[in-house]
A and B are shown apart, each in its own frame.
Chain A
Amino acid sequence: MDILNIDATLIVQMLSFVVLLAILRKFAYRPLLDALEKRSQYIEENIKSAEQQKADAEQIKAEYQAELKQARQEAHEIVERAAKASEERGKEMISDARNEAERMKKSAMAEIEMEKQKALTELRTQVAALSMLAAGKIIEKNLDPATQGALVDEFIKEVGDLQ
């Protein structure tokens, strides 16, 4: 069988293959495998940084949410405090107004009393004078000056008692 002849061709074929392998390894596979390695590194880095960014974003989100919550609480407190303050202020104003009114009323009463006293005193003086005049006119003729003087004194004394 010619076709099954095994000779030195076998060795040459082995060598040919080894040479092909060596050439390809040196010139073709090296750059390709480097490129593959680089790509997988690149992808790994990308994934890593994406994960990092995601974690960062989540942290920032949590921070913002906490801040938002706090701000809301503060706003609520401010509103509450303002409401309380205005209520107090209103109450104060009302009581102030009441006090003022009371005070004005009192001073008005005092004035009225004073005026009343003043009027009474004046009235007494006038009444005394008028009585004197009237009495004088009535008894002018029939009274000697001594009796007249005694009457006047008595009258004055009575007026003084009235006071």
Chain B
Amino acid sequence: MEEKLILWHVGPFTLHGKTLVMTWISMIAILIFAYFATRKATSGRPKGSQNILEWVFEFIRNLISETMDWKKGRSLLTYLVTLIMFIFFSNMLGLFPNITFGLLNHVQTLQLGEIFHGPTLASPTADVNTTLGLAVLTWILFVSYGIVFQKAKYFKHFLDPMPPFIIIHLIELVTKPLTLGMRLFGNIFAGEILIKVILGFIPITALFLGGFLLNTVWLAFSVFVGAIQSFVFTVLTLAYVAQSVGEEH
């Protein structure tokens, strides 16, 4: 298992090339989906992909109104819809076979040959930078919602129920986004590693299992895990925001 990082050096910064390219692929996929879903957005009877996107909106809307006051939470709607779609598409991307058929193997530009190497594409969420980046956005979101809706009261709750608890509250302020990001990363990264391991088995299992049975089972499970994790990340983001705007839940 050589899990080699592809690094781009831009000025003083180093970037994970593979993660970025995969992120952009996910983004393009989402934009294409969104284009088809809203191209003929109708207030009449919705068709096809519009139904799916409407279902996502309805789903998130229900989540928000179950968790907190809808008036306070309605501004989260588009953020959370984008979040759940981005994480879901990203999680799924790592399950896709590498459909470049090695055509880019010798492209040196941006090390594209290296990026599109291997049996499958990669999930951007299998990189801590992506998951922690999203977790930082969640952090910014719940802290700013707390300040906007609770004003000074938001800072007072750090001293509850008595002043020494400020240590716990401050630790929590770090662990919340950290666990959020690491949970997603761990699930998806482990899933991808296992896919590669199972694909490594194929020459052996091919003799008596038809080769891909185990992989098929694991891919199906990964779809499930990917969906669940995108849901968990979204729900926890929502729960943290609800907590900091002072909803008792």
Contact = CB atoms under 8 A, between A and B. Distances in A.
Contacts, number: 119
Contacts of A155: none
B35 A14 contact: no
A29 B128 contact: no
A32 interface: yes
B94 to A, nearest CB: 14
A156 interface: no
A9 to B, nearest CB: 4
Nearest to A28: B34
Contacts of B146: none
B59 interface: no
Interface string B1-23: 00101000010011110011001
A3 B81 CA distance: 28
Contacts of A3: 3, 5, 127-128, 189
A64 to B, nearest CB: 37
A10 B78 contact: no
B43 A24 contact: no
B37 interface: yes
Contacts of B124: 13
Majority-rule SS of B interface residues: helix
A9 B132 CA distance: 10
A2 B5 contact: yes
Contacts of B13: 7-8
B17 to A, nearest CB: 9
A21 to B, nearest CB: 5
30 contacts: A3-B3, A5-B128, A6-B129, A7-B14, A7-B15, A7-B129, A9-B129, A9-B130, A10-B130, A10-B136, A13-B19, A13-B129, A13-B134, A14-B134, A16-B27, A17-B133, A17-B134, A20-B31, A24-B30, A24-B31, A24-B82, A25-B82, A27-B38, A28-B35, A28-B37, A28-B53, A32-B38, A35-B50, A36-B43, A42-B43
Interface of B: 3, 5, 10, 13-16, 19-20, 23-24, 27, 30-31, 34-35, 37-38, 41-44, 46, 50, 53-54, 57, 78-79, 81-83, 86, 124, 127-130, 132-134, 136-137, 189
